[in-house]
Amino acid sequence: MRALVVRGRGATPAVEEVRLPDPGPGELRVRIRAAGICHSDLAMVDGTVAPAYPLVLGHEATGVVAEAGPGTRLAVGTPVVLNWAPACRACWHCRHGEPWLCTANTGASVARGETADGGPLQVTLGLGALAEEVVVPERAAIEVPAGLPPEQAALLGCAVLTGTGAVRNTARVNPGESVAVIGLGGVGLAVLTAARRAGAAPILAVDVAEAKRDLALAAGATDFLHSDDTLAKEVRARTEGRGVDHAFECVGRSVTIRAAWRATRRGGAVTVVGMGAKDDLLSLSALDIFHSARTLRSSVYGSSDPDREVPELAVALADGSLDLAPLVSGAIPLDEAPAALDRLARGEGARWVVTFPD
């Protein structure tokens, strides 16, 4: 089968023929219908995280069970959304209501299958979903209703779960609270959508790219602000001089975390959703931390339980109360995925989604 493979750190990803094993006990083969291209895929290529190579990219996808290994529950033909952090339900975090911090998660890359010449192959986050098929443990597949638009359903497994969970579970945004969102990629746009659904106002969308303005307003923002030195002032002008109740940093850089901090009111909360680099240090004064009374925290996978929350989001998508169309820049064939990764690196568009013929 065909998959998007990166051969080493900094190499250009290309579509290759690869082989996956048959599903073993407790495993499924899933035929992919649609798979999003996420910033974390760029992190796998540029070495921000340290996976093993050659590596099949992709971790945000929907598909249909094509073959069920011994001892599995889901039947062939079941529509599923893939979960890149399936919870073991046995470790300390799982037993204490924090399945998103499950210690059984296996890291950036997992060995599975082989390249066309018989060499070892890795898959991203245990999935490798920018491919015609995946073979995964059954707990990495979450059943969803049939008939969802595949290019929107794919986003439920990463960008939308992350963005929605950051608003609902981590920050617990209440109706009428003010929100700023810095960085308008797929996750940032999903945060805007979730903030709108939570009844927040105003919802200030912030990005360096003016081209994100229309996307932001379509996704749920009330205002678009250009990210520059005047940001904190612009935010205060729209929040009676205080700053927002909640700022969401969706870039993963110290400079934007600091901008989020400065845009937040005294006693407000900054939620870091972006994944940054380990050598990018954030500096805040001890006096500022005390006097501002702000909270700074991160949101990993939306502090969510995907087994419960992905089906809820899927129902909202099916009944029309959740509209993810503004998050999808376009559906493209697998061969165009390398070019879409370049566009993502340049900050162009929202989510590019690879779709496969039915």
Contact with Zn ion (CB under 5 A) among 94, 123, 141, 195: 94
C-alpha 99/C-alpha 84 separation (Å) is 12
C-alpha 358/C-alpha 31 separation (Å) is 9
Q: Tell me which stretch binds Zn ion (CB under 5 A): 27-35, 150-158, 194-202, 233-241.
A: 150-158
CB 234 → Zn ion: shortest distance, Å? 29
132 — phi, psi (to 5°)? -65, -30
C-alpha 256/C-alpha 206 separation (Å) is 10
Q: Tell me which stretch binds Zn ion (CB under 5 A): 66-74, 158-166, 241-249, 339-347.
A: 158-166
Contact with Zn ion (CB under 5 A) among 102, 153, 206, 337: 102
CB 237 → Zn ion: shortest distance, Å? 34
Residue 286's CB: how many other CB atoms inside 10 A?
7
Q: Tell me which stretch binds Zn ion (CB under 5 A): 74-82, 93-101, 216-224, 270-278.
A: 93-101
- 8 A C-beta contact, residue 17 and residue 121: no
Binding-site residue total for Zn ion (CB under 5 A)? 8
Rule CB under 5 A: say whether 158 interacts with Zn ion: yes
Rule CB under 5 A: say whether 91 interacts with Zn ion: yes
- 8 A C-beta contact, residue 317 and residue 17: no
Residue 217 or 332 with smaller CB distance to Zn ion: 332
154 burial type by CB count under 10 A (0-12 exposed, 13-18 middle, 19+ buried): buried
Residue 187 or 195 with smaller CB distance to Zn ion: 187
Contact with Zn ion (CB under 5 A) among 23, 40, 129, 349: 40
Pairing verdict, β 141-143 and 120-124: unpaired
Residue 45 or 158 with smaller CB distance to Zn ion: 158
Q: Tell me which stretch binds Zn ion (CB under 5 A): 91-99, 119-127, 132-140, 143-151.
A: 91-99
Which of 46, 49, 61, 60 is closest to 8 using CA atoms?
A: 46
The angle that helices 39-46 and 337-345 make with each other, rounded to 10 degrees, is 90
- In the numeric block, the tokens 């209440």 are attached to 174
Q: Tell me which stretch binds Zn ion (CB under 5 A): 104-112, 119-127, 258-266, 313-321.
A: 104-112
Q: Where are the beta strands (DSSP E) in 52-99?
A: 55-56, 61-68, 79-82
Q: How far is CA 185 from the centre of its chain?
A: 9
> From edge to edge, which strands make up the β-sheet containing 264-272?
223-226, 203-207, 179-182, 244-249, 264-272, 295-298
Residue 124 or 222 with smaller CB distance to Zn ion: 124
Residue 54 or 302 with smaller CB distance to Zn ion: 302
CB 41 → Zn ion: shortest distance, Å? 7
Residue 57 or 158 with smaller CB distance to Zn ion: 158
Residue 5 or 82 with smaller CB distance to Zn ion: 82
Rule CB under 5 A: say whether 154 interacts with Zn ion: no
> What's the maximum distance between 2 C-alpha atoms anywhere in the chain?
64
C-alpha 241/C-alpha 140 separation (Å) is 46
C-alpha 61/C-alpha 174 separation (Å) is 30
CB 219 → Zn ion: shortest distance, Å? 17
| Footprint of Zn ion on 59-88 (CB under 5 A) | 88
| Footprint of Zn ion on 248-307 (CB under 5 A) | none
- 8 A C-beta contact, residue 85 and residue 304: no
Q: Tell me which stretch binds Zn ion (CB under 5 A): 36-44, 137-145, 311-319, 337-345.
A: 36-44
CB 29 → Zn ion: shortest distance, Å? 22
Contact with Zn ion (CB under 5 A) among 3, 4, 20, 38: 38
- 8 A C-beta contact, residue 248 and residue 219: no
Residue 84 or 356 with smaller CB distance to Zn ion: 84
CB 201 → Zn ion: shortest distance, Å? 28
Binding residues for Zn ion (CB under 5 A): 38, 40, 88, 91, 94, 102, 104, 158
